[in-house]
């Protein structure tokens, strides 16, 4: 176990499904060759099959402490980014041309079942579920790697793949029950969310949290009593892990969503929530009803003009208060200061030393195989 654990809380009552987080991560970290299908941050509509398609049925993780067999998701199951006819529309000289995916059947994109949701009118419902790697306390990916290329940092618990050690066996993809690892066929290595560690190391919060217009994402240390994570997870106890039963002890937590009342056959509002509580329990565990009641209670207090620390926290009027000690502006940090992660030397590293140097822009991958001298 690491000395400290950096973690994220996402308030699902505020997620707009805008995918700004997805784009922020994509622009920063997954622009290299072989990464076009990678979205380390995904935002899916729930109920839905998620990304990769039907990931909750793919196994992996632990049961009663025993590692479970898992499926390795294919690129098609993750969903490929579509190729559009930009050139035809912009330069083709056809005024009637409209922007469309190339080919007759472009296949599914990376966001399966977008905005379909569940239930029938007037009780249809959906909410958005953003997901990143959970930087688990008991990472199934790390345990499955025969090369010991995956490690959990001592100082902050971030789980990283050392690309210099990875041999592309992809056991980690099978083992991760959240299916948050991608494979780069060109570089022959597995890659995943790095919790923006070069930023975290310099006191800057993650790109996905800083860019989020919904103020959904809190970042901080789990053991910092003054920070938002400790307050939401341990003090107010309103942030819950996703699929805790997978046994990896995830360090991303969610404030479950409230919903409008169900409408009965006469068109009247009932006391029942429109998003079935059993469904939320299937995602976030048995404490969901208690958490939703607590949020409703605190909201009512706030509406009466009483003080509610929980509501103040969740509303996040002061944006920077959401990021614990990681409040620096990225501009304050010179790229030359960005330190790169390198797994401490260990047994079994037979991979030849790459030719390249450390990436001064802080992109993932310890060394870029000659891409940059
Ligand atoms: Fe590993 Fe998956 Fe946990 Fe991330 S979410 S640390 S990839 S087991
Ligand atoms: Fe991407 Fe960083 Fe967010 Fe991970 S924490 S999903 S690397 S932006
Ligand atoms: Fe948009 Fe934030 Fe939700 Fe991402 S988490 S989809 S940035 S509102």
Q: Which of 2, 7, 32 is nearest to 364 (CA)?
A: 32
Task: Indicate which residue's Cα is closest to atom 1 of ligand 3.
Answer: 18
- Please compute the mean of the pLDDT values over residues 333-342 and round it to a whole number: 52
* Residue closest by Cα to atom 1 of ligand 2: 25
CATH code, 6-81+110-323: 3.30.70.20
Binned at pLDDT 50, 70 and 90, residue 105 comes out as confident
Helix axes 277-284, 288-303, angle to 10 degrees: 110
Helix segments in 62-177, DSSP class H: 75-78, 86-91, 140-144, 171-175
Assessment of whether the complete model's pTM goes beyond 0.85: yes
Q: What is the mean pLDDT of the chain?
A: 90
Which of the listed residues 5, 248, 252 should we mutate to test ligand 1's pocket, taking the one with most ligand atoms within 8 A of CB?
A: 248
Question: Residue 191 Cα, ligand 2 centroid: separation in angstroms?
Answer: 12
Using most ligand atoms within 8 A of CB, pick from 41, 135, 220 the residue to mutate for ligand 2. Answer: 41
Q: What is the mean pLDDT of residues 280-301?
A: 98
pLDDT score recorded for residue 261: 96
Cα separation of 341 and 362, whole Å? 10
What's the CA-to-centroid distance between 320 and ligand 1, angstroms?
27
- Nearest residue (by CA) to ligand 3, atom 4, is 21
Quick one: which ligand is closest to 204's CA? 2
| Ligand 2 within 6 A of CB of 35 | no
Residue 196 Cβ contacting ligand 2 at under 6 Å = yes
pLDDT score of 367 more than 70? no
pLDDT band at 345 (very low <50, low <70, confident <90, very high): low
The band of 338, judged by pLDDT with boundaries at 50, 70 and 90, is very low
Q: With a 6 A CB cut-off, is 136 part of the ligand 3 pocket?
A: no
pLDDT in tens, 162-172: 999 999 999 99
What does the angle CA 316 – CA 317 – CA 319 come to, to the nearest 5 degrees? 70
Percent of the chain with pLDDT over 70: 89
* Residue 344 pLDDT class (50, 70, 90 cuts): low
Which of these ranges, 80-84, 220-224, 252-256, 294-298, has the smallest mean pLDDT?
Answer: 80-84
Q: For residue range 16-31, list pLDDT tens digits in order.
A: 999 999 999 999 999 8
- Binding-site residues, ligand 1, Cβ < 6 A: 133-136, 139-141, 159, 176, 178, 180-181, 192, 248
Short-list 206, 182, 250, 219, CA closest to 37: 182
> What is the model's pLDDT at position 343?
54
Q: Give the C-alpha distances (Å, rounded to integers) separating 169 from 147, 166, 172.
A: 9, 8, 8
Percent helix, percent strand, percent coil in the chain, to nearest 5: 25, 15, 60
DSSP conformation letters of 230-242: HIIIIIS---EET
In Å, how far are 7, 133, 250 from 230, measured between CA atoms? 9, 19, 15
CB proximity list for 281: less than 8 A, separation 6 or greater: 288, 289
> Do residues 167 and 350 make contact, with C-beta atoms less than 8 angstroms apart?
no
The secondary structure of 207-219 as a DSSP string is: HHHHS-TT--EEE
Nearest Cα to Cα of residue 118 among 282, 288, 293, 292: 282
Task: Count other C-beta atoms under 10 Å from residue 68's C-beta.
Answer: 16
Taking phi over 0 as left and psi of -120 to 50 as alpha, with beta for the rest, 156 belongs to alpha
What distance in Å separates the CA atoms of residue 165 and residue 188, rounded to the nearest whole number?
A: 11
The rounded Å distance from CA 148 to ligand 3 centre is 34
Residue 239 near residue 232 (C-beta atoms within 8 A): yes
Residues of the chain with CATH 3.30.70.20: 6-81+110-323
Give the residue with greater pLDDT, 339 vs 149: 149
Identify each DSSP E strand in the chain by its residue range.
6-11, 42-46, 62-63, 66-67, 127-131, 150-152, 159-161, 181-184, 189-192, 217-221, 240-241, 252-255, 261-263, 269-273
Which residues are CB-neighbours of 269 under 8 A, at least 6 positions away?
A: 260, 261, 262, 263
**pLDDT tens profile 60-72:** 999 999 999 999 9
Ligand 2 centroid vs 103 CA: distance in angstroms? 32
Ligand 1 pocket: which of 139, 177, 183 to mutate (most atoms within 8 A of CB): 139
User: Residues 34-65: pLDDT tens digits?
Assistant: 999 999 999 999 999 999 999 999 999 999 99
Q: Which ligand is nearest to the CA of 182?
A: 1
pLDDT of 265 > 80? The answer is: yes
pLDDT at 194 over 60: yes
Distance CA 172, CA 142 (A): 7
């Amino acid at each position: 176990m690491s000395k400290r654990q950096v973690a994220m809380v996402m308030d699902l009552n505020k997620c707009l499904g805008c995918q700004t987080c997805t784009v922020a991560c994509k622009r920063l970290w997954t622009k290299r060759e072989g990464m076009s299908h990678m979205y380390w941050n995904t935002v899916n509509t729930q109920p839905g099959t998620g990304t990769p398609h039907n990931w909750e049925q793919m196994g992996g993780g632990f049961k009663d402490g025993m590692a479970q067999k898992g499926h390795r998701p294919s690129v098609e199951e993750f969903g490929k980014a579509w190729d559009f006819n930009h050139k035809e529309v912009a330069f083709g000289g056809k005024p009637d041309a409209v922007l469309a995916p190339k080919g007759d059947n472009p296949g599914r994109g990376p966001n399966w079942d977008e905005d379909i949701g569940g239930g029938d009118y007037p009780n249809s419902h959906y909410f958005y579920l953003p997901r990143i790697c959970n930087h688990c306390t008991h990472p199934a990916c790390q345990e499955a790697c025969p090369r010991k290329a995956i490690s959990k940092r001592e100082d902050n618990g971030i789980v990283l793949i050392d690309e210099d050690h990875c041999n592309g066996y992809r056991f980690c993809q099978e083992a991760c029950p959240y299916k948050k690892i991608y494979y780069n066929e060109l570089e022959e290595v597995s890659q995943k969310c790095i919790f923006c560690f070069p930023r975290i190391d310099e006191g800057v919060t993650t790109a996905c949290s800083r860019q989020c217009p919904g103020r959904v994402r809190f970042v901080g240390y789990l053991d910092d009593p003054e920070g938002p994570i400790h307050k939401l997870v341990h003090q107010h106890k309103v942030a819950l892990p996703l699929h805790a039963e997978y046994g990896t002890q995830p360090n991303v937590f969610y404030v479950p969503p409230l919903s409008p009342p169900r409408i009965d056959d006469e068109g009247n509002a009932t006391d029942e929530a429109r998003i079935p509580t059993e469904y939320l329990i299937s995602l976030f565990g048995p404490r969901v009803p208690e958490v939703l009641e607590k949020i409703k209670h605190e909201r009512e207090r706030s509406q009466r003009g009483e003080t509610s620390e929980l509501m103040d926290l969740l509303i996040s009027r002061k944006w920077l208060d959401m990021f614990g000690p990681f409040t620096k502006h990225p501009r304050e940090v010179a790229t030359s200061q960005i330190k790169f992660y390198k797994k401490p030397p260990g047994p079994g590293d037979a991979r030849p030393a790459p030719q390249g140097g450390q990436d001064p822009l802080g992109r993932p991958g310890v060394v870029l195989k000659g891409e940059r001298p």
